Amino acid sequence: DTGVSQDPRHKITKRGQNVTFRCDPISEHNRLYWYRQTLGQGPEFLTYFQNEAQLEKSRLLSDRFSAERPKGSFSTLEIQRTEQGDSAMYLCASSRGTGSGNTIYFGEGSWLTVV
């Protein structure tokens, strides 16, 4: 069990550019989540996958944001035409989805700075 891993850990991009983050969940976890966190705040839910199906998207996830989990394993979160307000830490998490409180394990996060 290597934990949830995210890449890159830090990204600085110019406004208007596209960025993509990757998340590798804990193996055999069928649920995968994306959250966003800004300084001084708790995480905000963005979206959730059960295997390869994207089952829920927050209203925070504008049409510039797209998330995929094509084979039910790793996931990508792409932000198109980045804006300064997109600067935040993007957290990926995974869980088994059953039992043990559906315990959700987080990665170390990907910091995005839009300049």
Partner 1 sequence: GEDVEQSLFLSVREGDSSVINCTYTDSSSTYLYWYKQEPGAGLQLLTYIFSNMDMKQDQRLTVLLNKKDKHLSLRIADTQTGDSAIYFCAESKSNYQLIWGAGTKLIIKP
Chain residues binding partner 1 by CB under 8 A are 4, 6, 31, 33, 40-45, 48, 50, 55-56, 91, 93, 97, 101-109, 111
Q: Provide the 3-class DSSP secondary structure of residue 9.
A: coil
Q: Which is nearer to partner 1, 34 or 82 (CB)?
A: 34
Query: Nearer to partner 1 by C-beta: 40 or 85?
Result: 40
Query: Would you say 77 and 89 are in contact if contact means Cβ atoms under 8 Å apart?
Result: no
Place of tokens 């987080």: 106
Indicate the residue among 40 and 70 with the shorter CB distance to partner 1. 40
